[in-house]
Amino acid sequence: MHNKDFSYLTELNDVQRKAVETTEGAVMVIAGPGSGKTRVLTYRITHLLNLGIAPWNILSLTFTNKAAKEMKERIESIVGSDARKVWMGTFHSIFARILRVEAHRIGYPNDFTIYDSDDSKSLIKDILKKMNLDPKVYNPNAVRARISKAKSSLITPKAYATNEELLLYDRMSRMPMLHNIYQNYYDRCFRAGAMDFDDLLLQMFRLLYSNPDNVREKYQRLFRYVLVDEFQDTNYLQYEIIKLFINYEGSPSNICIVGDDAQSIYSFRGATIENILQFKNDYPNLKTFKLEQNYRSTLYIIQAANELIKNNTKQIQKNIWTSELGGSKIKIIKALTDREEGRKVIDQIIEQKTRHHLKNSEISILYRTNAQSRIFEENLRRANIPYRIYGGLSFYQRKEIKDVLAYMRLVVNSKDDEAFKRVINYPKRGIGKTVLSALQNHSDLNNISLYEACFDAELKTRPRSLVNEFIRLIESMKEKNKEKNAYETVNYIIKSTKIAAILNSENTIESQSRLENINALLNGVQEFVEDDEYMGEELVENRDLSAFIQHISLLTDMDKDDEKISNSITLMSIHLAKGLEFESIFVVGVEENLFPSYMSLSSPDDIEEERRLFYVAITRAKSYLTLSYCNNRYQYGQIRSNDPSRFISEIPEDSLEPMSAMVAHPKPTFAEPKILGGLKPKKLNIGQASKLRDSANFKPNSPDEIREGMRVMHMKFGEGTILSIDGNSSNKIARINFDEIENEEKRIVLRFAKLQILN
């Protein structure tokens, strides 16, 4: 039993406290950037528990598992283990959890597979091939996006096929068969017992709306209090599901939404700002609380943000303020070219690090498009400043991991055709395209899965023997899964398929790296099985293979980036930066046609979203904000001249540092920490360098000893830094930045290079 300690309420300002204590009815909390949004949401749930509300009667929906985990931990620190019983998680994870219990009511197996984007794309490619459609016209990514948008708008395949407006749009886009592709895709997923991410929402809606066995009333009675974080990021379908959860006869409609219309930046994912702008229309007795005090940024940054967002017509009026009256004015860096912009930004970073003693981890470079990162990466490498790209390839997207996961998925759901196709001939077992084609034909004719087709498809003697061997392998895994826990099953899968043994026998750096990843996967499964608090999830009775697969299928972009680099500059797109904060922010490429994007210029709504995106970018900064632009930039293979962004002119002049102060900073005369190992490169004076380059003192190292990030000496070119090493063992090529050669990198074959290691 938790103690009823209400002392946490004293940590809140007046408006925050009112938002926490107003527990009944419909509540909207408009939370400006850095205004304590998470604290309000966390303490509101804590308060409900302290008032005696059962934890399982509270549903809290978030957009990342990471946010849910942090909130749950904070609540648990106050009220104890009851926090674990709150229904808290992402829309997708909560709905998947419900569908695991209820999916059979709408014709799906409860152990349905969750398809990721690669699975969906693979299935669409297969459908295009069967329909003899040109993938250059019916681009699989474009098709997948159209299907996703239809689902998010609550448009089923049948409704799509009768919607004249959509059909006309498809004909104009030269994709008149799109409604047929959508129907095929929907049917194939259903046959495979699979749902993609959009289906987790669509089928949740279908379950509640069609209401088999009064399932809707069951969950309406269960979820007496519903809380939604980042409500401005919800799409039409998500909001319709929320309404079905709370609107029933006699319901008090205890719903609390928290969000900021000024940070609605995900329309490309289907999010609609109308949900938050029109929320009051659905709840006439709505109580609204505006969190306007900013605890993150200094005065000049807040002034800039307020003046900027005033230019949007669609918004809920608010005025963000701060008690932090000091701080630096916003700097503007003007450059002639994008290359010069890269140099000036890194020079400014070095000055900030020196003058204000900032760590690399306190600095971030934000850009509108990922393609912009290259220039800044090159300049950071030249300056030997470590950095990381936020949102790179996730662990669970690596090939070797997806291979093992495909076996795991097939064991749990043998109807999963995409998993089947991935493993039927991996590792190679002699089952080629001809056999797979025969299985596919038999599958299509009888409307059964590929695995089911393996049992009775007509095959020649040799292929039949190979397929039977594959069946025995999968069936043995299924038996193991019935008897053993998830860890023992996955261990058996890795051993029985010989995946680990094959990688081990290859004995290359790449194969060893893949093997390490597979071992890391095994470790992850073991943690999942043994640790009740794994990833902050709710306590569940079964820590089985199905539960583990669901967990990793539902990790969001923010959850996947678990790389811990303690002292690196962070580079990322602005869309990924929402929710984060840094002492110093550099927003780069602030030019017309780039930011705002040229694609938004014809639509007032799109321009407003670009402005909200810029608002998000500048409000990530705590103490220092720098904006940069250039007059000439390489775009689409040619030099283009752009004007400074309109957003710069919308910032009040008294928030900006005078342009005269923005001069190019001299090159640093000290050495920065290296990208690898945090080692300080040995900086030699000219006398030392000359001495080393004397042939009597020069002793080249073996090419096998040379590693990326090392400082080296070359007899002709002098000192330099190894930026990267490519190629196989006999023909490795090093890309080297030599200190004495301006603006040029040398590519040298290592076995001919004759390099001496300096550190």
Which uninterrupted H or E stretch holds 557? helix 557-560
Instruction: Identify the active-site residue in 22, 38, 156, 556.
Output: 38
Residue 229 annotated as catalytic: yes
Residue 620 annotated as catalytic: yes
Instruction: Identify the active-site residue in 17, 37, 388, 578.
Output: 37
Residue 433 neighbours by CB under 8 Å, 6+ apart: none
Q: At what angle do helices 65-79 and 37-50 cross, to 10 degrees?
A: 50
C-alpha separations of 542 from 81, 114, 552, 659 in Å: 19, 18, 15, 62
Instruction: Identify the active-site residue in 82, 116, 198, 229.
Output: 229
- Please check whether residue 723 is in contact with residue 739, taking contact to mean a CB–CB distance below 8 angstroms: no
Instruction: Identify the active-site residue in 116, 119, 196, 230.
Output: 230
Instruction: Identify the active-site residue in 72, 216, 388, 620.
Output: 620
- Please check whether residue 722 is in contact with residue 714, taking contact to mean a CB–CB distance below 8 angstroms: no
Chain centroid to Cα 497, Å, comes to 31
CA dihedral 313, 314, 319, 325 (to 10 degrees): -70
Neighbours of 320 (CB within 10 A): 23
Residue 418 annotated as catalytic: no
Name the DSSP class of 296. Answer: S
- Please check whether residue 379 is in contact with residue 556, taking contact to mean a CB–CB distance below 8 angstroms: no
Residue 613 neighbours by CB under 8 Å, 6+ apart: 265, 368, 574, 575, 595
Side-chain-side CA neighbours of residue 10 (13 Å): 3
Residue 130 annotated as catalytic: no
Residue 230 annotated as catalytic: yes
User: Where are the extended beta strands (E) located within 33-86?
Assistant: 58-62
Instruction: Identify the active-site residue in 113, 263, 489, 570.
Output: 263
Residue 493 neighbours by CB under 8 Å, 6+ apart: 404, 407, 408, 411, 477
Residue 38 annotated as catalytic: yes
Residue 238 neighbours by CB under 8 Å, 6+ apart: 91, 201
Which uninterrupted H or E stretch holds 166? helix 164-172
Which uninterrupted H or E stretch holds 122? helix 117-130
d(CA 335, CA 138): 41
Active site residues: 37-38, 229-230, 263, 620
